[in-house]
């Protein structure tokens, strides 16, 4: 067991408000490819960064819609992993927990986390391309992409694409909570995507203890008080076991 795991458990026991930021790495052990992983099958030749943009959807709405349909099918067929369940249990171990995820897969909610802020939206929601209103997909709609029942425009996935702004309430709430926390844990993110990658700086501004869980070094690593080098699916259950022992 990493010595810092014991130190991290001690920091969590003393914490008043824990802020957790997760990225694609926490879903990797469920079988969801991260944005850094090469894509598989017919999507192997596409770069996610090029597909997850309004421009890509404008140029080829059918291609982009099919990519998201493939991801929806992939995520629907897998389950949360021990890292998601450990975080769902963490809420019982600390006075206040804020969970913000960059992921759009909905796995935190399926693992039982009661309050999840989806910084980049959710794969399974549909919004109107014209006005961004949330829409329900008509069961008999076979158009690709489907048509907005309100205005006849195209529907698009309810995610934040590169070049699009984070919803202002989600952005403000996330930064306010990061600035108020006393322990900030970054799990499974390359810390490359802005503005999510700036959240830890707000926590540093509040002298929070900074913890990173990632098998690899990231731009955030040098700012971390504790770095737990390894997989979330191994580290987080061990951390919760330590907390349970003390309790
Ligand atoms: C905005 C939804 C402004 C879509 C996503 C140049 C410099 C700085 C910034 C920019 C720049 N050029 C452009 C920008 C801004 C841009 C950006 O940051 N680009 C990056 C690529 C440089 N950001 C934006 O465009 C954002 N908006 O800035 O708006 C604005 C303001 C006003 C008005 C208009 C505009 C919007 C960004 C949101 C993009 N949407 N998702 C979809 O999913 O299809 S982000 C998408 O990529 C994912 O959601 C995910 O969040 C992100 C990838 O990041 P990670 O989650 O970190 O995943 P990644 O694969 O990178 O890393 C995985 C990590 O896990 C690795 O570190 C790995 O080691 C680790 N790992 C692996 N296995 C495990 C593990 N860890 C633990 N356990 C394991 N088992």
Reply yes or no on whether the pLDDT at 40 is more than 70: no
CB-neighbour burial class of residue 180 (10 A; exposed 0-12, middle 13-18, buried 19+): middle
Shortest-distance atom of ligand 1 to CA 195:
28
- 164's CB contacts (< 8 A; 6+ apart) are 54
CA distance 239 to 87: 10
Residue 142: which pLDDT band, with cuts at 50, 70 and 90? confident
Residue 3 CA to ligand 1 center (angstroms) comes to 30
Average pLDDT over every residue of 139-144: 84
Pocket mutation for ligand 1, best pick of 31, 37, 194 (most atoms within 8 Å of C-beta)? 194
Specify the 3-state DSSP secondary structure of 124: strand
Determine whether the shortest distance from the Cβ of 52 to ligand 1 is under 6 A.
yes
Shortest-distance atom of ligand 1 to CA 197:
18
> What is the pLDDT, as a whole number, of residue 4?
87
| Torsion angle defined by CA atoms of residues 24, 25, 26 and 28, in that order, rounded to the nearest 10 degrees | 90
> What is the pLDDT, as a whole number, of residue 42?
66
Residue 184 CA to ligand 1 center (angstroms) comes to 18
- 105: nearest Cα among 44, 33, 54, 45: 33
Report domain 37-77+121-159's class: alpha beta
> What is the pLDDT, as a whole number, of residue 139?
80
Residue 137: which pLDDT band, with cuts at 50, 70 and 90? confident
Report domain 1-32+80-120+166-247's class: alpha beta
- 158: nearest Cα among 150, 149, 167: 167
CA distance 75 to 1: 31
Q: What is the CA radius of gyration of the chain?
A: 19
pTM: 0.96
> What is the pLDDT, as a whole number, of residue 3?
58
* Residue nearest (by alpha carbon) to ligand 1 atom 57: 189
Instruction: For 92-129, write each residue's pLDDT tens digit.
Output: 999 999 999 999 999 999 999 999 999 999 999 999 99
Q: Which regions of the chain carry the CATH code 3.40.50.1220? A: 1-32+80-120+166-247
Determine whether the shortest distance from the Cβ of 160 to ligand 1 is under 6 A.
yes
φ and ψ at 117, to 5 degrees?
-95, 120
Residue 1: which pLDDT band, with cuts at 50, 70 and 90? very low
Q: Which regions of the chain carry the CATH code 3.30.1600.10? A: 37-77+121-159
Specify the 3-state DSSP secondary structure of 186: strand
Reply yes or no on whether the pLDDT at 143 is more than 90: no
Reply yes or no on whether the pLDDT at 130 is more than 50: yes
* Residue nearest (by alpha carbon) to ligand 1 atom 14: 194
CA distance 133 to 127: 5
Mean pLDDT taken over the chain: 94
Please identify every residue annotated as catalytic: 120
């Amino acid at each position: 067991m990493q010595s810092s795991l014991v130190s991290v458990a001690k920091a969590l026991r003393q914490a008043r408000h824990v802020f957790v930021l997760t990225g694609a790495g926490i879903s990797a052990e469920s079988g969801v490819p991260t944005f850094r992983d090469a894509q598989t099958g017919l999507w192997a030749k596409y770069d996610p960064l090029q597909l997850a943009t309004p421009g890509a959807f404008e140029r080829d709405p059918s291609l982009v819609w099919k990519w998201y349909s493939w991801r929806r099918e992939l995520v629907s067929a897998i389950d949360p992993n021990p890292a998601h369940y450990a975080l769902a249990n963490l809420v019982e171990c600390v006075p206040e927990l804020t969970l913000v995820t960059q992921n759009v897969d909905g796995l935190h909610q399926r693992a039982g986390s009661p309050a999840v802020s989806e910084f980049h939206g959710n794969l399974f929601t549909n919004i109107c391309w014209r006005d961004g209103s949330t829409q329900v997909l008509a069961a008999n709609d076979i158009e690709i992409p489907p048509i907005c029942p309100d205005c006849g425009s195209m529907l698009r996935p309810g995610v934040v694409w590169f070049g699009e702004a984070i919803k202002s309430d989600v952005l403000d709430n996330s930064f306010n909570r990061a600035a108020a926390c006393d322990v900030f844990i970054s799990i499974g993110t390359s810390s490359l995507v802005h503005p999510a990658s700036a959240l830890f700086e707000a926590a540093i501004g509040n002298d929070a203890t900074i913890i990173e869980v990632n098998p690899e070094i990231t731009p955030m690593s040098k700012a971390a008080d504790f770095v737990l080098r390894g997989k979330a699916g191994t580290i987080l259950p061990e951390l919760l076991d330590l907390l349970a022992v003390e309790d």
